[in-house]
């Protein structure tokens, strides 16, 4: 199983409090690598608008999928649209 593909990680939003317009709780999103953000306990996520923004890391949990499923998810959601 993998939790990332081509530099992208898949995460599930476990807390969208304060970000209800941008994030849907229990939805899977793509996260982009951002070492600077990680040093500040933040994560760069492609949100509902298809834009990448920083959010507190505590609001997300990594999703582990079989590699074929992860590949399909990323290919089917190129603009960052999650599942829901």
φ/ψ (deg, to 5) at 59: -80, -5
Q: Give the confidence band of 48 by pLDDT, cuts at 50, 70, 90.
A: confident
According to DSSP, the residues that pair with 62 across neighbouring strands are 11
Q: Is 24 exposed, middle or buried (CB count within 10 Å of its CB: 0-12, 13-18, 19+)? A: middle
Q: What is the pLDDT of residues 69-84, one digit of tens each?
A: 877 877 776 554 444 4
Q: Residue ranges per domain, the chain?
A: 4-76
The Cα 35–Cα 56 span in angstroms is: 14
Q: What is the pLDDT of residues 50-65, one digit of tens each?
A: 889 999 999 999 998 8
pLDDT score of 15: 96
The domain made up of 4-76 has a fold known as SH3 type barrels. (2.30.30)
């Amino acid at each position: 199983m993998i939790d990332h593909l081509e530099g992208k990680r898949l995460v599930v939003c476990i807390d969208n409090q304060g970000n209800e317009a941008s994030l849907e709780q229990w939805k899977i999103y793509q996260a982009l690598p951002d070492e600077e953000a990680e040093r500040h306990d933040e994560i760069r996520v492609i949100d509902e608008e298809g834009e990448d923004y920083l959010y507190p890391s505590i609001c997300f949990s990594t999703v582990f999928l079989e590699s074929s499923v992860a590949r399909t998810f990323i290919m089917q959601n190129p603009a960052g649209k999650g599942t829901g």
